[in-house]
Structure 1
Amino acid sequence: MRFARDYGWRAYAIPVLAIITVWVLVDIIQQPADTTPPNPPAATSTADNDRRPPVPNPADLDFMTEGGELPDGGPYTDKGKGTYRTVGNPGAEAGAGRPRTFTYVIQVEDGLDPAHYGGDDGFAAMVDATLTNPKGWTADPEFGFKHIADADKADLHIQLTSVATTHKECGANLAMETSCFTSDGNRVVINESRWVRGARPFAGDLGAYRQYLINHEVGHGIGYAQHVPCGRDGALAPIMMQQTLSLSNSELNKIDPNEIYPDDQATCSYNAWPYPTGKKD
């Protein structure tokens, strides 16, 4: 009992603590391991994944179905005064003109705000540059163009026009903003809303759309009265296709079944030029 006399109460406590320690160790060894994380990351939740939208696949998107709608963009004039002023610097000339060179003047309807469309000089410069470009109508030696000063002697009057005046001159039977050529005064009527905003099928390429708009409507003015459908899926669109509205034959067929477009699902790429290679053949 000397051990008890020397250590007092600790002589009894030490054996008890040893027994408790052994018991705890045995219990831990017998417990199965828990491999589940205490807080699984939220990203692994099946419920959360089900609520997410699917990853967009470009192959599933239809880029042509809203072509006729006017894109968002800058302001334009709803109603002008119905009278026109002549703008630009005469002198631009191109093309062999065999047998004919078309003379033209460039005009802007009074009441349009020049800040909306880039100014008179900007509009006139785009018209001149388009009609004298080698990829334009003058790639065919049959055609030539000359910018003159006298509106009374011009074969074509290329006019930037407000929405209301465009509707009056071109009609609005499609309930879409379009431009036109009218034989009443041989006028190429360019809808200012389209000049400012462009068209969805051109995917934001406003410069190319403006070139197309000039070439298409001037094409009517020099004798190409009929529209032309997309010739082959994936090909460049013919200049006389109604690219403002769509690049798809089937879409254009839905818009106006009386037009020339077959319901064949052929869809072209946008194109601003009569002869994109600069050659007729």
Structure 2
Amino acid sequence: MSESMARSDARSGSTRGRARSDPSADGDGPTPEHSRAEDDNVGTAVEVSDPFGLHASADRTHQPLRARWDPTAPDEARARSPRPERGVKKQSALGRFISTYGWRAYALPVLFVVTVLVVVDAVNGGPEVIGAGGNPGFGRLSPRAASAGIIGAPPGDGQFPGDLPTGALPEGGPFTEIGAGTWHVVPGAAAEFGAGAELHLSYTVEIEDGIDTSGLGGDIAVARMVDSTLSNPKSWSHDRKFAFRRIDQGEPDFRISLTSRESTRKACGFDIPIDSSCYNADLRRVVLSEVRWVRGALAFEGDIGSYRQYQINHEVGHAIGYHQHQPCETDGGLAPVMMQQTFGTKNNDIAALDPDGVVPMDGKRCRFNPWPYPRG
């Protein structure tokens, strides 16, 4: 038995001699650093002490290295410092994802949340902005306004009540009832436009004294509207016979004059009791009714700009020699510019107002049109 124990001790000493290379193997006990080095030698085949000689050649690499295989050996009071972590701990799937993608792993959740918020905002109707089609945004309604209920926007069908009499004056802004009966010339001139094969015509733009044009953009804005209308290729300059130029000095061929309601009735007559414009050949004055300039006409369905263009073109047409009015010629087509569109675009309506006129009672109805040559 002692021989067996001696052989076991010899083998144990041999094992310790191979596993230890520092002087602490002399029996004084390992230092804490050396003990940790041995414990951390993971994956290396190490022979352990077997005082009974039963498992001298057993492979213990799969066993916990801190276990003692000699339960009868005296307990060595070895001071152990805190054990450091063994390399890299096994990571979870989330940990591996973060290690792989770095900062992007944190950015992706943020982007996801932002995307969800944008989609929800779009579905619920986000604030409007100024886009490529040119519409202004009004932002979101305040919670108080939204909860209180909002009156619906007016319908956009552009139709006036059917019981309004033809030629009736639409509702709208204020106008001048009585002016001074005198006019002042708006300063400014325009270069000649049009071919002028037969006629070179000059005109002035004038405003009746007593008319406040500040609500219309001022005198200059009125003059620019006249100039831009007549110089448009859809206007009378399309006909190569004519050339036009605006002057502010000297005697013009005709005077385009914005005129109050009372002065218009004096210059144009009021046999048909409807506000309208005219050309007075004795005065060589194109009389533009300020009432209609402000309010327009029912047939134009609220399009004030187009009505002003019609006013100018229709009355200048009389000034340059087109004295007769015209009826609607094609049912559903564009009205001729010399049709009395202020009274309406239905032949029957105009014929009822002026039974002795040139317009027949034939049931034709046209669409409003401000131009002599609408297709340019």
Alignment check: 8 A CA contact 1:114 1:120 kept: yes
> Does 2:239 correspond to 1:140?
yes
TM (norm. structure 1) is 0.75
> Does 2:374 correspond to 1:272?
no
Secondary structure at the counterpart of residue 244 of structure 2: strand
C-alpha separation in 2, matches of 1:63 and 1:261: 22
Please list the CA deviations of residues 216-263 of structure 1 after superposition, one character each: whole Å capped at 9, or x if unmatched: 000000000000100011010000000011100111000110111010
C-alpha separation in 2, matches of 1:249 and 1:86: 37
Determine the structure 1 residue equivalent to 2:227: 128
Alignment check: 8 A CA contact 1:97 1:142 kept: yes
Determine the structure 1 residue equivalent to 2:294: 196
C-alpha separation in 2, matches of 1:255 and 1:232: 21
Determine the structure 2 residue equivalent to 1:166: 264
Determine the structure 2 residue equivalent to 1:155: 253
Instruction: Quickly say closer, same or farther: Cα 1:70–1:260, change in 2 above 3 A.
Output: same
Determine the structure 2 residue equivalent to 1:97: 196
Determine the structure 2 residue equivalent to 1:184: 282
Q: Which has the larger radius of gyration?
A: 2
Equivalent residue letter for 1:128: D
C-alpha separation in 2, matches of 1:258 and 1:110: 36
Note the aligned Cα RMSD (angstroms).
1.8
Determine the structure 2 residue equivalent to 1:81: 180
Please list the CA deviations of residues 51-106 of structure 1 after superposition, one character each: whole Å capped at 9, or x if unmatched: xxxxxxx9xx9869633111000000000001111114202431111111110000
C-alpha separation in 1, matches of 2:335 and 2:162: 15
Shift of 1:149: 1.7
Please list the CA deviations of residues 139-190 of structure 1 after superposition, one character each: whole Å capped at 9, or x if unmatched: 110111100122x420010000000000000011111000000012210000
Please list the CA deviations of residues 195-221 of structure 1 after superposition, one character each: whole Å capped at 9, or x if unmatched: 000001000010000000000000000
Determine the structure 2 residue equivalent to 1:242: 340
Q: Which one scores higher on RCO, CA 8 angstroms, separation ≥ 6?
A: 1
TM (norm. structure 2) is 0.56
C-alpha separation in 1, matches of 2:187 and 2:306: 21
Equivalent residue letter for 1:135: K
Count of aligned pairs between the two proteins = 219
Shift of 1:119: 1.4
Alignment check: 8 A CA contact 1:239 1:272 kept: yes
> Does 2:310 correspond to 1:209?
no
C-alpha separation in 2, matches of 1:213 and 1:270: 12
Decide which moves more: 198-207 or 141-150.
141-150
Shift of 1:113: 1.0
Match for 1:107 among 194, 197, 206?
206
Alignment check: 8 A CA contact 2:279 2:318 kept: yes
> Does 2:327 correspond to 1:229?
yes
| Identical aligned residues as a percent | 48
C-alpha separation in 2, matches of 1:231 and 1:91: 35
C-alpha separation in 1, matches of 2:183 and 2:277: 17
Alignment check: 8 A CA contact 1:64 1:247 kept: no
Alignment check: 8 A CA contact 1:73 1:196 kept: yes
Shift of 1:130: 0.5
Secondary structure at the counterpart of residue 153 of structure 1: coil
C-alpha separation in 1, matches of 2:295 and 2:196: 33
Alignment check: 8 A CA contact 1:160 1:190 kept: yes
C-alpha separation in 1, matches of 2:257 and 2:186: 10
C-alpha separation in 2, matches of 1:224 and 1:88: 28
Instruction: Flag structure 1 segments of 5+ consecutive residues without an equivalent.
Output: 1-57
